[in-house]
Amino acid sequence: MASSLACLPFFLLLLPCLLLAQNTGNIEVGDSITAVDNGAQPWLSPSGDFAFGFRQLEKRELYLLAIWYNKIPDKTIVWYANGDNPAPARSKLELTADRGLVLTSPQGTEIWKSDVNLGDAENGFMNDTGNLILSNSASEILWQSFDHPTDTLLPGQTLKRLSPGQTLESGGQMLSSRLTETNFSRGRFQFRLIPDGNAVLNTNNLPTGFAYEAYFWSNTVDSNTSNAGLRVVFDDSGYLYVLRASGKRELLTTGTVASAAENYHRVTLNFDGVLVQYTRPRNSTGNGGNWSIIRSMPDNICTDLVGQKGTGPCGFNGICQLSRDRRPTCSCPQRFSLLDPNDDYGGCRPDFYAQFCEDVSNSPKDFDFLELENTDWPTSDYEMYTPYNIEECQKACSEDCFCNVIVFKEGTCWKKKLPLSNGRLDEKVNGKAFIKIRKDDSTRRETPSGPLPFPYEKKNKDNLALVVSVLLGGSVLVNLVLSFYSFFFSHNKSKRIPQGTERGAESNLRCFSYKELFIATDGFKEVVGRGSFGIVYKGLLEMGTKVPVAVKKLDKIFEEGEKEFRTEVKVIGQTHHKNLVQLVGFCAEGQHRLLVYEFLSNGTLANFLFKEAKLGWSQRTQIAFGIARGLAYLHEECSSQIIHCDIKPQNILLDDHYDAKIADFGLAKLLLLDQSQTFTAARGTKGYVAPEWFRNMPVTVKADVYSFGVLLLEIICGRKCVDTEVSAERAILTDWAYDCYQDGIISALVENDEEAVNDMKKLERFVKVAIWCIQEDPTLRPTIKMAILMLEDFVQVAAPPCPCPFTSVVG
């Protein structure tokens, strides 16, 4: 016993060495890691230089599956798997033989997997280059993290040249920035080797990933394709270059690189759009161990990023100034403030009411100008005057209701309007910007003295002042503009277009004869739907091949004539969105008014919500997202704003993949107000109609938001908004849902839906968003775009107030 105790200190000294010796980097099929608060032990490379496992995010209940430098204090992340979909606590990562690495939620829902149908994965290996490899029994590589880069390249890693039309989703390799320093969702910047052989940096459209103009080029294009850029290489020595097809190297690294044996090297596309090559000593700590910059690309992103689309590094209305480390520093102009107080790069909003042309009380004498030195937004011009002086420039802007900002330089005056993009503060501007503001201080946004509930707060931060200012400023302004537009909307003041012959004028719509549609529907034989706007029949049209269509016969329309009908149809026909039913053509012959749509075999959402064929929780939530995105397009993105006026399950169709498509949008403008008994004196269907229809209040897109809120509750609960067959306290869904929320028993809304009950955080979030959407006061309702952000959990949802504080029943 004494001998054993004497040896104990010796074994304790050897223990770290023994543990290190046991770390081989190997991962066996069946091995797993669980995301827990105190940090699960990651899988290490043999030297311990790199670790693979879960990293806890700022929002502490969420985790990122990542690879990072394990031996340096800041644990810099170099690869991550689920940036767009962080994992909740207790999620599990497991190596499987048939699907590779699989990340699942505590409820077993798949969050991410390394590949599809690997078939015979035998083991994994975390190697000392930072590459995670899955292989089979013959040691053939089935999948590796180096083939799926995120925002960082490591020595030994390459980027292949993209094929024409190839994207990240279709297997293309590129670096994609994070959204912010701490948000690992896909960001606004990309580094790619495009088909012509150029390595470029560009901004992109976040929802689609569509690439905008490049702001950095490697200049490795060649008319002789055998000499164009073939791949981007970050070699083992730490040099970054474009390898031409001829074998020639075009260096992107400048100067001499420190030894890779003694230094870490990485190339990272930062969230602000700057591609930086870094180096750091392997064995140093403290201040001497910080990352040093070898090269930044481009040289000055503030002035080099001049694309006509996108926002630039500092967001709309922001001003970019280059810092000493060649990274952008962002600020807001005077009388503007950050859209998000926690994000300097997210853009700025005016703290004053910008001029809008519908305000007939405007006078040039009501405005003054704030002067900014060496500041410009060069891609926001819409008029240029030369030769001009400053006084003439300011006068021209004062008299122009579209003009919000002017820039004057060397006898030339540029007019600009909000929002401004690609702002910069730089001596090279050599000019002055002037922001037009009202002289009357009463037009400034001021915070009321009393507290005001509101649905959206930035996560983990109390932003009441921001929220209130947005409410009083943005919402009031938007509602004023939309109210003005709604006046014309309700009076059918649309542009006229001439009659078409074979196709609708200025559109791709086909103009059918009544006889064609009579034959196509076999004499309007098969009814597939009935609604407030008319009856829908199934038909087959010869359009190269036999194509199934849905033909809607409108019962009654305004009597202004054929041209007006064609005008409204043209507006509907110019809409193109995956969550809208596509209009194929129309008929306007004599008294006949028919619309021809694509045919969707799964029918309406009502068939699945209120009948036996139920949809699962995850399907229902995706349908809700689809409806919201379709409405956002109608409200804010299509060429002519459309208020639907009748959002309900019967007007939501499902395609073969159960993706939601909104139908009947724009038709309210074509129909008489007493269309059918399901219509009230206002437009819409009972149970879904916003209260403002019954009051002397302007009707805006917020009426659709109200209807969406009711529909969202139906989607959550799988029942009708008014159900007389249940108990009295449950009959009105909007009232019952708020009561359940107030009483803390949200699970009662989905009592027989185990999947929904197990996803309580999302369930609570969706219910809260729905309650905000059905507020009686339209100014308290979010826009549909803000509702999307809340549903997606990008914006925290505050506790909603009682939706009907003024009345308990709408008369």
Rounded Cα–Cα distance for residues 94 and 97 (Å): 10
**672, 567 in Cβ contact below 8 A?**
no
Going by C-alpha positions, the residue among 221, 402, 211, 393 that lies closest to residue 309 is: 211
The reply to whether 614 sits in an annotated binding site is no
Rounded Cα–Cα distance for residues 274 and 637 (Å): 30
DSSP code of residue 286 = G
Give the HSE-up count for residue 575: Cα atoms under 13 Å, Cβ half-sphere. 32
DSSP code of residue 605 = T
Backbone angles phi, psi at 333, to 5 degrees: -65, 165
**232, 240 in Cβ contact below 8 A?**
yes
**326, 254 in Cβ contact below 8 A?**
no
Going by C-alpha positions, the residue among 635, 669, 627, 673 that lies closest to residue 652 is: 627
Instruction: Give the pairing type, strands 545-554 and 583-589.
Output: unpaired
One of 272, 400, 646, 704 is an active-site residue; which one? Answer: 646
**224, 239 in Cβ contact below 8 A?**
no
Q: What is the DSSP string of 335-375?
A: TEEESSTT-TTS-EEESB----TT-TT--GGGEEEEEEETE
Amino acid letter, 340: D
Longest dimension (CA), the chain: 110
Which helix (H) or strand (E) covers residue 101, if one does?
A: strand 100-104
| 646 among known catalytic residues | yes
Rounded Cα–Cα distance for residues 750 and 767 (Å): 11
Q: How many CB atoms lie within 10 A of CB 11?
A: 10
Question: What order of strands is seen across the sheet that includes strand 32-34?
Answer: 32-34, 92-96, 100-104, 110-113
Rounded Cα–Cα distance for residues 83 and 80 (Å): 7
Binding-site positions for ATP read 553
Which residues are marked as active site? 646
Which residue positions form the known binding site?
553
